[in-house]
Amino acid sequence: MKTYFLLLGLFVGVACQGQSAHNKPTSPASKSTTMTSDTTNLSQLSDADWKKRLSPEAYRVLRQHGTERPYTGEYDQHWEAGTYVCKGCGTPLFTSDTKFDAGCGWPSFYQGIDKSKIKEVIDRSFGMIRTEVRCAKCDGHLGHVFDDGPNPTGLRYCINSVSLGFEKKQP
């Protein structure tokens, strides 16, 4: 069953690469969740330490380069104003101003807050060549970036919700 969901998620992720992007104007209420940034030397954390800091699903995605099932993540259809941060370390990664609905089942952004906060790595898994997106601070797997996004960048950062926390914009 686990293999079925992995293959389904992979198929939908690849299939949605050609989806057109359009903004979603509605903003349903959603709870705010974030991982508080601390001064822990993240490179010193063991797998056991990461397992204590993260939920099992967040550990599987962030530390083992997994993928959550499409259309199941908390932030796929989340439209509140604020900042999306890395669930592993609290680093600010994306703003709600750059989020759009790609129709692929995962939160999508056309650019990050700062290029130095995101690391891109060639991913040759599953017989494909893609660009993996990782948090530059904790090296957590976030998702992948594709070149089928909207203007002004033409990019689509397809990110796992479970890899993210959210900090609501203060009025």
Average pLDDT score, the chain: 83
Work out the average pLDDT over 70-81: 96
Q: Residue 169: which of 77, 34, 42, 51 has the closest Cα?
A: 34
Would you say residue 15 has pLDDT above 50? no
Would you say residue 8 has pLDDT above 50? no
Q: Residue 3: which of 126, 144, 146 has the closest Cα?
A: 126
Listed in sequence order, the DSSP H helices in 107-152 are: none
Listed in sequence order, the DSSP H helices in the chain are: 2-15, 47-53, 56-62
Q: Confirm if 110 and 150 have CB atoms less than 8 A apart.
A: yes
Which of the residues are catalytic? 158
> Each residue of 107-133: b (16+ CB within 10 Å) or e?
bbbbbbbeeebbeeeebeeeeeebebb
Sequential DSSP letters for 61-83: HHTT---PPTT-STTTT---SEE
The tokens for 150 are 């909207």
pLDDT-wise least confident of 6-15, 20-29, 72-81, 130-139: 20-29
Q: Residue 143: which of 165, 118, 113 has the closest Cα?
A: 118
Would you say residue 43 has pLDDT above 80? no
How many other C-beta atoms lie within 10 A of the C-beta of residue 33?
Answer: 13
